[in-house]
Amino acid sequence: MFSGKTFEGHTLLPVIHDLQKKYSIKTLTIVADAAMLSRENTKEISKANLAYIVGARTGSIPEKLMVEIAKKLDKTEEKYIRVKTDWGTLICDYSSKRAAKNKSDRKKQLKKAEYQIDHPDKVKRMNRFVMAKTKATFMLNEELIKQDELRDGIKGYYTNLKKVSSKLIIKRYHDLWHVERSFRIAKSDLQARPVFHHKKESIEAHILIVFVSLCLSKSLEIISRLSIKKIKKYIWPVLDIEFKDTVSDKAFTKRMTTRENPMAKLWKSLLTEY
């Protein structure tokens, strides 16, 4: 855990070094999204004799190089371009599905941009495709739109791996969806939202509860073969009623059962096992 004001890019290496020390790891490959990328990080990773695969922001790739990459890829899937850069080897590929999403996202942004141009008095935050014509009027940034279209369907990855195929490097990067899914589960299904704590012990306890909840959720998914969202749907309507014997002062719990609940057999097997 790090202080909230700590830049995300500065949290990577300390965690990796602690991990290496704790588990005596000599070689490993760090896979991270573009937010973790900095020239300082990539240099330090290489100095430590470690490998990295990091997402590249295509918007930061020089236009001249981007034109060359787009031309070589020629909207062809399963084709890879490797280019040496100061950040490491840049690998690029093309995806028609990604291209369709890029076009759809741009279409939505252009619609908002046109609205801003027609209603300049209502502009609070300038759309990326809008540029000022005069102090009171705006226009579409055609050059930026053209550059954006050039990047449709193209994704980049930086790495210092030399003897690993481009296909495998990209495949390993795409495995990050497992991590992203865990964050989605924690935020949506488990409703783990930011809580303002003042003491370090409270912060650590909060993080621990969220992490243990995530572990339990994953265990239930593996055992039941159902998503945690479906599991919650089946569990929430089930009620427990507690009865208390006023003579013996003993308490008894009765759980509501439903024949249609597919979790019933699972609970029974879990209670029997544990």
Q: Is the pLDDT score of 272 beyond 70?
A: no
Q: Percentage of residues in the chain with pLDDT exceeding 70?
A: 92
**What average pLDDT score do residues 173-178 get?**
88
Q: What is the pTM of this model?
A: 0.72
Q: Is the pLDDT score of 99 beyond 90?
A: yes
The answer to whether 210 touches 186, Cβ cutoff 8 Å, is yes
Domain layout of the chain by residue ranges: 8-95+153-175, 101-146, 188-273
Three-state secondary-structure class, residue 226: coil
Q: Is the pLDDT score of 98 beyond 90?
A: yes
Q: Is the pLDDT score of 194 beyond 80?
A: no
**What average pLDDT score do residues 222-237 get?**
82
Residue (of 176, 180, 168, 149) closest to 91 by Cα position: 168
**What average pLDDT score do residues 147-154 get?**
94
Specify the pairing of strand 29-32 against strand 51-56.
parallel
Rounded-to-integer distance, Cα 263 and Cα 23, Å: 38
Neighbours of 253 (CB within 10 A): 8
Rounded-to-integer distance, Cα 53 and Cα 42, Å: 10
pLDDT given at position 107:
95
Least confident range from 4-13, 75-84, 132-141: namely 4-13
Which sign, positive or negative, has the C-alpha torsion 36, 39, 44, 50? Answer: positive
pLDDT given at position 140:
92
